[in-house]
Amino acid sequence: MFLANTPTRRAIADLQPCGQAPAIRAEEEDEDEDTDDVEEIVTPVEPIEQIDDFDEDDFDDDFDDDFEEELEEEDLGIETGAAELEDVDDEDAEFESADIDRPRFLFATCQVGAEGALKQEVARLWPSFRFAYSRPGFLTFRLPAEETFAPDFHPQLVFARAAGFSLGKISAPTLKVRADELCRAIAAHKFDALHVWQRDTQPASARTFDPRPTPSASEAEAEILKRWCEHFGSQPARVAEPNGRVLDCTLVEGDTWWIGEHRARSDESRFPGGVRDLRLPDSMVSRAYLKMEEALAWSELPIQAGQRAVELGCAPGGASQSLLSHGLIVLGVDPAEVDPRVLGNPNFVHLRMRGSEVRRRRLRGVRWLTADMNVAPQTTLDTVEALVTHPTVNVQGLLVTLKLLEWEMAAHLDEYLSRIRGWGYAHVRAKQLAFNRQEICVAALRRKRERSPGKSATSAERPSSKH
């Protein structure tokens, strides 16, 4: 059955001829990163207390059973009794819709463990949004009935990997029935792209953590595309064009998909679940390569081959390899050892010391600074500030990873960003990227005419604190 809480519109677009479904991506072995510095026919459930932050050491197979929170029955609707589960038939499917200009719910997916930070962020930005439902890595919020939201409303949330309007959920005992139900529900509506992904099932601290599409998501996507072609004779794109209208399908439970939609207003929102198609080349020394590749794509820093960059916390060298692959000349700073494959690159120099020990003359001509150190955010910011505010240093842009050693540190994010703006960086934003662990990435860029001020910028020079 499909339960909808906001509608869609227009006819299915003839986009691409039906072809082969995407192959299931083989899982890659996890490597150490840098070391230094809709629903199943269900009976009503009683609401339980809202989710709290949890200790990832306590995460186990029973965690999902203790994590669920739902609205009252009238909020989302309750399907028929569980005894009817085996009698599900395509002809019995339901589609409840409302005015597209009056969406009722927002969905968001995030890293397992970041739910509390995401809820606090939404509450701060939109106090009228009411937390509604959650599973690990998946949340919904009820939108205020008195407000109207444009179809291209794009909540740029730091802790949300993907977000959009929630259309409801589909539940059926087989993959085929769920795919047919989805196609029937959208038969009179137009979407430019289809995004299918599974919510995270383990915390990012797990060695096997990988945010990329799972075999289950690939299997569901293949079945949906098959039914899509049978129903409409066309196939949607997998990577959306800028501002394209995207149908979202999130695998939340074994037989339950949550359906939503969003406009591809940012680069990461063009990809299923907000996860770019990145792979770890065989020659790379650590998964920090993927973190840097994603950070460079998200930040859109105008780096150019031949420019100089310094990386604080470079060992064992995965992120440096990414920078080198873009043609940068890299000065790596870390007291730990760097992999010989990186040391052998003629455009790489290793300073075996801490960032606080680097002499400023070594940074002459450096345009970009990246930092990923296993220390508290304040320590990272202290080290970076001492370098970029020196009168002889003119670093144009930053990519700084801030480790959230405790999730409570997320509440200080605005303070961290304001401090960076005070160094003379006019454009500052943050995001918990898909390949991040319990950390956030901050990108900062000066205006071209600006040089290192050596002191905090005046309040008139600082942009809005929104990020």
Residue partners of 377: CB distance under 8 A and separation at least 6? 402, 403, 404, 409, 412, 416
Please give the single-letter amino acid code of residue 94: E
Same fold, 2-274 and 288-461: no
Q: Read out DSSP for 6-49?
A: S---SPPP--B---PPPPPPPPPPP--------PPS-------P
Q: Work out whether strand 439-445 and strand 427-431 pair parallel, antiparallel, or are unpaired.
A: antiparallel
pLDDT tens profile 98-146: 444 467 999 999 999 999 999 999 999 999 999 999 999 999 999 998 8
2-274 — its CATH code? Answer: 3.30.2130.30
Burial 351-389 (b: 16+ CB within 10 A, else e): beebbeebeeeebeebbbbbbbbbbebeebbebbeebbb
Query: Contact at 8 Å (CB) between 193 and 240?
Result: yes
Of 401, 396, 449, 456, which is closest to residue 424 (Cα–Cα)? Answer: 456
Token pair 């930053």 in the structure block, residue: 398
Domain range list for the chain: 2-274, 288-461
How confident is the model at residue 154, as a pLDDT?
87
Cis upstream peptide for 316 (omega within 30°): yes
Helix (H, G, I), strand (E, B) or coil at 223: helix
The token pair at 415 is 């303070």
Residue partners of 263: CB distance under 8 A and separation at least 6? 151, 152, 153, 154, 243, 244, 245, 246, 269
Token pair 């589960």 in the structure block, residue: 85
Length of the chain: 467
pLDDT tens profile 346-359: 999 999 999 999 99
**Measured distance CA(123)–CA(334) in Å, rounded:** 39
Domain range 288-461, CATH class: alpha beta
Of 326, 302, 288, 332, which is closest to residue 433 (Cα–Cα)? Answer: 288
Phi then psi for 451, rounded to 5 degrees? -120, 170
How confident is the model at residue 447, as a pLDDT?
75
How confident is the model at residue 55, as a pLDDT?
37
The pTM (predicted TM-score) of the whole model is 0.77
Phi then psi for 305, rounded to 5 degrees? -55, 140
How confident is the model at residue 328, as a pLDDT?
98
Sign of the CA dihedral with 415 first, then 417, 421, and 423 last: positive
Low-confidence ranges of the chain (pLDDT < 50): 1-16, 19-101, 449-467
How confident is the model at residue 103, as a pLDDT?
74
Phi then psi for 63, rounded to 5 degrees? -60, -45
Helix (H, G, I), strand (E, B) or coil at 319: helix
**Measured distance CA(430)–CA(441) in Å, rounded:** 6
Q: At what angle do helices 413-421 and 377-388 cross, to 10 degrees?
A: 0
Within a 10 A sphere around the Cβ of 455, how many other Cβ atoms? 11
